[in-house]
Amino acid sequence: MAYIKELFDVNFLEYASYVIKDRAIPYLSDGLKPVQRRILHSLFEMDDGKFNKVANVVGHCMKYHPHGDASIYSALVVLANKDLFIEKQGNFGNIYTGDPASAARYIECRLLAMAREAIYNPELTEYEPSYDGRNKEPVNFPAKFPVSIVHGAEGIAVGMATKIMPHNLIEVLEAMKSELNGEAYILYPDFPTGGLADVTDYNDGQGKLLTRARVEIVNDSTVIIREVPYGCTTESLINSIDNATRANKIMVTKINDFSTDQVEIELKLKRGFRASEIIDALYAFTDCEMSISVNLLLIHENRPLEMKVHQVIEHSTRQLQDILRRELILEQGKLTEKLHRRTLEMIFVKEEIYELIKTRKTLETVKKAVLDGFKPFMAEVVGPITDDDIEHLLRLQIRKISAYDMNKAKGELSEIRGRLAEIVKLLNDIIGYAHSWLDMMIEKYRDSYPRKTELLQLDQKNMKEAAIRDLDFRYNGNNGYAGYDLKDGPKRFKCSIYDRILYIDRKGVYQVIDVPDKKFIGYRLAYVGLTDTATIENTVFTVLYRDKDGVVFIKRFKITKFIANREYQLIPEGGELLELTTETEGRFVVRFVPTKTMRRFEVDCPLDEFAIKGVSARGNKVTDREFSVIEFHKSGGAVVASSVGDENAEPIDAPVLNGLPLFAEPKTPEVTEEEDSE
């Protein structure tokens, strides 16, 4: 068993390492996954300036990629749609609509100039054997800017995943300039699909962001979606709108998709609803608003590493300087060698050293004659004369010697020396050289890569806040049922499926529940209403109740703290709720059962004379006498409610909340304990 466990552990670790390093996670050095690197390597090898069939590119790439043609083809299409390194010809799909690309045999591609300028230099590239040992493939390309954060990337490996947002190329190059200068900078994502984005919580590539579609109001009954959020297509967006419409979350009667190379989704609204009222619901209930969690994970030194955007910029800026330095040193070596050869050729011809070899019979004597001929001119020669140099001179054709242009040769040598002097200056000021390279790229590509995503500070739309209250909540006190699907009973107020209701029964028990479609909640309740902030926090309840000893109390309070689906007691256990009102002005009048010795026949309880207390407070004593009628008088003096003290008397319906504004904000505070009593 121990052997089997060890075998599983080793094999799983090897598999996990392979998936992380060789498939799913891009590398920090060039920002590419292995399949992307192999595709670009194949295109470099095949590049002749003309378009190549994608099927041919896939076939060529199979020499390096061991996972089959399907994975290469799909990766090539995704890479080409980044519009950075690969030029497309044919149908490569549509990033807006989600339409797939045509078959590999029908579409063509070739490299863009950007690929050669930014990542290609075979003399600086490290190579390793391919999976079958027959060919060599690059370990990493010498990338001069951070491809990973320009392209963006997603990948799921074993136990980890990466989700890197794409950024604007010009802004990335500008950030690299700021890094060279030691200046502060901030980089935010820029999506190829455009849209709006809130980057408040982006946290330099390790947080989250909010993306939205760009919605345009045409008129009161029509809105058009012009841009979709990143990671969403018109098809998925329309499906989410259709689902929300079926669930009565938004009121759309017709959806027309006119999208081609630009997004245009037309929404026709239900009669009675205005376009300005539907926008928040679109963001709350559909994919018009999406929250994206970001995780910038890259492979660095053969290990996965979580990074921030500024750390990637720092690394790429150092790498740019190193690559430019190595390119200059490489060019310096080539020019020095060329200067050496051209100098030898000029002396060889000008001083007619070739005449010295006419009488020589052997190769050794020929070489000695050439070396002897150069001895007086060694001060002009760049370096020592080698056997290869002599072989090069001996291969010069008579025609070239006879037509040798001395002035042209001197001009060429002068150009070479000038460039070598310039290289020395650039090597001494590599930061300035990096600046000039970045400036050249920015100037060349500024118009080709404009920012597409607009950055705003957005408030994430809560479903409860955006829900349209278009459902009629009914309560039938005779059968005890309530809900928005109830067919009988009076309409109490407008609600949405995301609302909560508060109801109070005649025993003084109250409870908060999600608004039901149809549910039994009790016969002839004392109160039922919404619990949204606009309603419940401004509602003062006044109750008259009788405790188990027969004493009548009055209590005023607000209900702002509760836990949903839990029962709470308003009055002492064993008591009886007599009257309840939500009026803020008026008075209760309690009329006593008359007796012979009675001098006072009623007690007056003006509401404004009683303080608003906690829910669990006992309240103020009204009377311990037997009463016959309780009346509620509004400010004008009219009696709007009355009941009798007889236990068998039929109670009346207490006042309830009437209709609410259609777009009231239903925020419900939840706590774990009740208010303390006074």
* Active-site amino acid positions: 106
C-beta of residue 87 within 8 angstroms of C-beta of residue 112: yes
Read off the DSSP letter of residue 12: H
Q: Which residues contact 443 (CB under 8 A, 6 or more apart)?
A: none
CA distance 667 to 678: 27
| Torsion sign over Cα 478, 482, 487, 490 | positive
C-beta of residue 522 within 8 angstroms of C-beta of residue 503: yes
C-beta of residue 115 within 8 angstroms of C-beta of residue 103: no
| Torsion sign over Cα 378, 384, 386, 389 | negative
DSSP three-state, residue 328 = helix
453: tokens are: 């995503």
CA-nearest of 284, 215, 338 to 497 is: 284
Q: Which residues contact 580 (CB under 8 A, 6 or more apart)?
A: 504, 526, 527, 541, 542, 543, 544, 654
Which residues on adjacent β-strands are paired with residue 161?
156
Task: Extract the runs of DSSP E, i.e. beta strands, from 295-365.
Answer: 297-300, 303-306
CA-nearest of 61, 51, 53 to 111 is: 51
CA distance 284 to 462: 6
Q: In degrees rounded to 5, what are phi and psi of residue 136?
A: -120, 140
| Torsion sign over Cα 232, 238, 244, 247 | negative
Amino acid in position 538: N
Burial 396-426 (b: 16+ CB within 10 A, else e): eeeeeeeeeeeeebeeebeebeeeeeebeeb
* Residue 493 C-beta-side C-alpha neighbours within 13 Å: 25
User: H-type helices in 81-112, by residue range?
Assistant: none
Which residues on adjacent β-strands are paired with residue 466?
none
Strands 481-483 and 471-476: antiparallel
If one counts every other C-beta atom within 10 angstroms of the C-beta of residue 587, the result is 17
CA distance 335 to 385: 16
391: tokens are: 């072989």
Q: Which residues contact 589 (CB under 8 A, 6 or more apart)?
A: 602, 603, 604, 605, 630, 631, 632, 633
642: tokens are: 């009355």
668: tokens are: 């419900």
CA-nearest of 118, 177, 202, 251 to 662 is: 251
DSSP three-state, residue 116 = helix
